[in-house]
Amino acid sequence: MYTLRVEAEFAAAHYLSHYHGKCEKLHGHNYRVRLFLRGSILDSGGMLADFGQVKGVLRDVLAVLDHNNLNDIESFKNDPSAERIARYIFDEVLKRFPSGGLDPDLLYAAEVFETPRSMARYTRD
């Protein structure tokens, strides 16, 4: 099994409505996102997928989040936790893979780091 990983960043603000503590107040993060693809078959050029194509799709998804208040995005329903952000990114990337020339079956996981030591992951299985 082969694994491919790409990374990107975005900056955004959020607050957690159902959390009691400092994160219930508006604050921001410089998020790091890692996207993972997995598969067992390489193309004729010996690649699982083209890094450039994968990064392009991920950049398009993150452009919607970058420099915004994530609470204003309907998908998060006022609680844009790292877990929900990871699922959102996974789902949005998955929707765009076919138009980006990528096989949706290869998408395996999305990780979202709020800090270098705090991360949430959403996986296909």
What pLDDT does residue 22 have? 78
Say which of 23, 24, 27, 83 is annotated catalytic: 23
E-assigned strands of the chain? 2-14, 27-39, 107-115, 118-123
Reply yes or no on whether 74 is catalytic.
no
Q: Taking the chain, what is the end-to-end CA distance rounded to the nearest angstrom?
A: 16
Residue 43 sits in which domain range?
Answer: 2-123
Q: How many domains does the chain have?
A: 1
- The CATH number linked to 99 is 3.30.479.10
Reply yes or no on whether 67 is catalytic.
yes
The residue length of the chain stands at 125
Low-confidence ranges of the chain (pLDDT < 70): none
What pLDDT does residue 23 have? 74
Measured CA to CA, the distance from residue 63 to residue 71 in angstroms comes to 16
